[in-house]
Amino acid sequence: MVARSYDQYDGVTAAVEVIGERWALLIVRDLLVGARRYTDLKQGLPRIPTNILSARLKDLQEGGVVQRVPLRHCGLVYELTEVGRSLEPIVLALSRWGVERLGEPGAEDLTTADGLTVALRAAFRPEIAASATPTDYELRVEAVVLRVGVGDGSLVIHQVAPPAPPVAGTVPEGEPDVVLVAGRDLLRGELPRVAAGDPELAQRFAGSFALRWGPRSPLPAVG
């Protein structure tokens, strides 16, 4: 049973009735990164009331988008069904559309690990990274730290801080090739700064993502 009916018969209406409620798409966004326990979802969406999170998860399960499954060493987790995973290109397209409309962040606006992960996936340019030597970057945006592997046309992202749930994968061992630091304005044009590593490799990072700072903007050093 859907949470709300608009009494209209078309595809957009049918989709909105399943994923159009407040917070629903953000839950889907986070689950696109990996399976999550209830506490993980609450940590990634700290402003959502617990009763609303429970209600949205129930709605998404009834809509066939999310399922709850046991996972070794993690107990019960929520994950996307095949139907839910089919939303990925739609969510990535929404991210690209929304980034172009970002205003200045508010005082209470948060950068979350899952939100930044999806934004980078949406902005990735595999055709540019196709000829790049595989490079391991560490990207620090306030409290969020990601290890971002770019090269051979592929993108791999691991969450370091806040710590990713065990079901999201392990963090690469060893030191990154390049360390980049940025603020919340990263997605709307703030240049990441080079804290450590080869500036030329850092420049390749800039060229691998279709963000406002673009591939030709020089990356400044920290300090």
Q: How many domains does the chain have?
A: 2
Q: Which two tokens stand for residue 207?
A: 């060229």
The answer to whether position 215 is within a domain reads no
64 and 149 part of one domain:
no
41 and 124 part of one domain:
no
The answer to whether position 66 is within a domain reads yes
The answer to whether position 214 is within a domain reads no
Q: What pLDDT is recorded for position 210? A: 87
The answer to whether position 134 is within a domain reads yes
158 and 74 part of one domain:
no
157 and 71 part of one domain:
no
198 and 112 part of one domain:
yes
pLDDT tens sequence across 45-55: 999 999 999 99
Q: Which residues are CB-contacts of 218 (< 8 A; sequence separation ≥ 6)?
A: 191, 203
194 and 113 part of one domain:
yes
147 and 75 part of one domain:
no
CATH of the domain at 40: 1.10.10.10
Q: Which residues are CB-contacts of 157 (< 8 A; sequence separation ≥ 6)?
A: 117, 120, 121, 146, 147, 148, 149
The predicted model scores a pTM of 0.92
**Cβ distance 122 to 95 under 8 Å?**
yes
- Which domain range does residue 16 map to? 11-86
Residues in the chain, pLDDT under 50 = 1-2
59 and 131 part of one domain:
no
The answer to whether position 195 is within a domain reads yes
pLDDT tens sequence across 154-172: 999 999 998 777 666 677 8
The answer to whether position 197 is within a domain reads yes
